[in-house]
Structure 1
Amino acid sequence: MRLCSIASGSSGNCIYAGTDTTHVLVDAGISGKRVENGLNDIGLTGRDIDAILITHEHVDHIAGLGVLSRRYGIPIYTTEKTADAIQETKSVGKIPEELFHPVCAEEAFTIKDLTVNPMRISHDAADPVGYRFSYGSSHAAVCTDLGTYNDYTVECLKGMDVLLLEANHDVNMLQVGSYPYYLKQRILGNRGHLSNENSGRLLSRVLHDNLKKVILGHLSQENNLPELAYETVRMEIDLADNPYHGGDFPIQVAKRNEVSEMICF
């Protein structure tokens, strides 16, 4: 199985997951051209994509969806409420109804040889989900855009070989930054985004000996720094009540505007 971030950040998100025979995208929140260029960088084209899985309808997750789905007739998998919200987003353009395939949290489905299991997340969107993938004994998850987590979240993310997890903001940078008060409160709220500290705390609860890679994603351009996210998450692991240390696991920060390292597992 393989996983790779084509783009990840507050300005746009697109993640590739696949096997030798199956290729899917999680979100298409950058332009269709940038998605195409990213796919070319990993040896694929839009014609190779079997499905686009949408987490929620915010524009940084669907900006290129209309262009890609119409051009190649790519099936779109998302919750019914999210599909309705996408169809009401004028900037995406009209997408043929038959391309939408409804999914529900905790109801697994297959795309060729890849099993996909959506999970509930807490975000201010119509009906947002994260996605877990299984192929044989390999497991991965993409989990961003969650203002908080609970025991359910922890259970969903246990046992992964590779985990892409949100580390959106540094709380102090956000609080002293230029964002208006209402936006700061939204980001900090339970339906907003996961801070570096909370990302590290959540990660500390799902660590296990066979975890092969952690990718920190959806970093805010204004309220975070890659080095700060990396060091804060490692520090939270060191402080946590578990046998692990921050240096025990390979952690990378997904790049905002370019393709990150392809992870094979």
Structure 2
Amino acid sequence: MNLASIGSGSKGNGTLVRSGDTIVLVDCGFTVKETCLRLARLGLSPEDLSAVVVTHEHGDHIRGVLPLARRYRLPVHMTFGTLRAISAPGSRHSLAGVTVQEVRPGRRFSVGAVEVLPVPVPHDALEPCQYVFEAGTRRTGVLTDLGSVTPHVVEAYATCDALLLECNHDPELLARGPYPPSLKRRVGGARGHLSNQQAGSLVTVLERNRLQHLVLSHLSEQNNTPEHALEAVADAGFDDAQRVRVASQQEGFGWLDVN
């Protein structure tokens, strides 16, 4: 398996999981033009993609999904709740010409050579899911946009070989930052986003001897820094520069081999 990102943060997200000829794009928060440019940096074009898998309906994750899928005839996998959210009256999203396949939380499905486990998470969306991807004996997890680490999340992600993990904010920086009080409560709430320390608490229960790559992701540009995120994970006992890195909003990160 291989893992890469075309960008990670509040301005747009997109993660790639590859096994053989199967390439899954998780979310697409960029325009089609920008997505093509970012894919090209990784040696890909949209025609190489097998499917798009959606975590939830927020714009930084779904902005480019339907236009990309429509133009390049890509199937889109999402929960019924996400589908209902984007097709609600007044929505700017158009499902015309897009093949949508329903995802059911906890029920595995396959995209080519990759088996996908949808994991329900606490977030302020209608039916959000994050995902664990399996090919052979390898497991790659994508886990962002959740406000708390539930026992179900721990069970699903404890045995990953690679993990893209949200480290959205530092609580002190969030408290002192420019957000209005209502947004601070939302971000720091149980259905908001993981703090560095919450991410660190999950790291303590992972099978760290198995974990080849830990990518800290979805960092807030206003309420976090890579240094804060890395320090929190190091404090949790995972201080390994060879295996830990930070995904950026502009660059994402290049291909990582999951052997």
Both structures adopt the same fold (TM-score exceeding 0.5): yes
Q: Deviations over 1:193-234 (max 9, x none)?
A: 000011011111113312101001111111011121111221
Q: What displacement does 1:259 show? A: 3.7
Equivalent in the alignment of 1:242: none
The amino acid of 2:253's aligned partner reads S
CA distance in 1: counterparts of 2:56 and 2:112, whole angstroms: 23
Q: What displacement does 1:261 show? A: 2.2
CA distance in 2: counterparts of 1:13 and 1:98, whole angstroms: 20
Equivalent in the alignment of 1:104: 104
Q: What displacement does 1:179 show? A: 0.6
Equivalent position SS for 2:228: helix
Contact 2:8 2:252 in 1 (8 A): no
Higher mean C-alpha displacement, 94-103 vs 169-178 = 94-103
Matched, 1:263 2:256: yes
Equivalent in the alignment of 2:243: 250
Give the aligned CA root-mean-square deviation in angstroms.
Answer: 1.6
CA distance in 2: counterparts of 1:141 and 1:224, whole angstroms: 22
Q: What displacement does 1:92 show? A: 5.1
Contact 1:63 1:92 in 2 (8 A): no
CA distance in 2: counterparts of 1:151 and 1:91, whole angstroms: 34
Q: Identity of aligned pairs, percent?
A: 37
Contact 2:76 2:98 in 1 (8 A): no
Structure 1-normalised TM-score? 0.93
Matches within 5 A, 1:154-173: 154-173=154-173
Structure 2-normalised TM-score? 0.95
Which ranges of structure 1 fall in alignment gaps of 5 or more residues? 239-244
Matched, 1:183 2:176: no
Equivalent in the alignment of 1:241: none
Q: Deviations over 1:72-99 (max 9, x none)?
A: 1111101011012122386753123751
Contact 2:75 2:99 in 1 (8 A): yes
Equivalent position SS for 1:246: coil
CA distance in 1: counterparts of 2:40 and 2:91, whole angstroms: 25
CA distance in 2: counterparts of 1:43 and 1:90, whole angstroms: 37
CA distance in 2: counterparts of 1:71 and 1:12, whole angstroms: 19
Q: Deviations over 1:115-157 (max 9, x none)?
A: 0010011000000000100000111010100100121111110
Contact 2:4 2:255 in 1 (8 A): yes
Matches within 5 A, 1:50-61: 50-61=50-61
Equivalent in the alignment of 2:134: 134
CA distance in 1: counterparts of 2:122 and 2:89, whole angstroms: 21
CA distance in 2: counterparts of 1:92 and 1:217, whole angstroms: 28
CA distance in 1: counterparts of 2:14 and 2:153, whole angstroms: 22
Equivalent in the alignment of 2:198: 198
The amino acid of 2:224's aligned partner reads N
Equivalent in the alignment of 1:41: 41
Moved over 6 A (4+): none
Which ranges of structure 2 fall in alignment gaps of 5 or more residues? none
The amino acid of 2:239's aligned partner reads G
CA distance in 2: counterparts of 1:252 and 1:17, whole angstroms: 17
Equivalent position SS for 2:205: helix
Q: What displacement does 1:50 show? A: 1.1
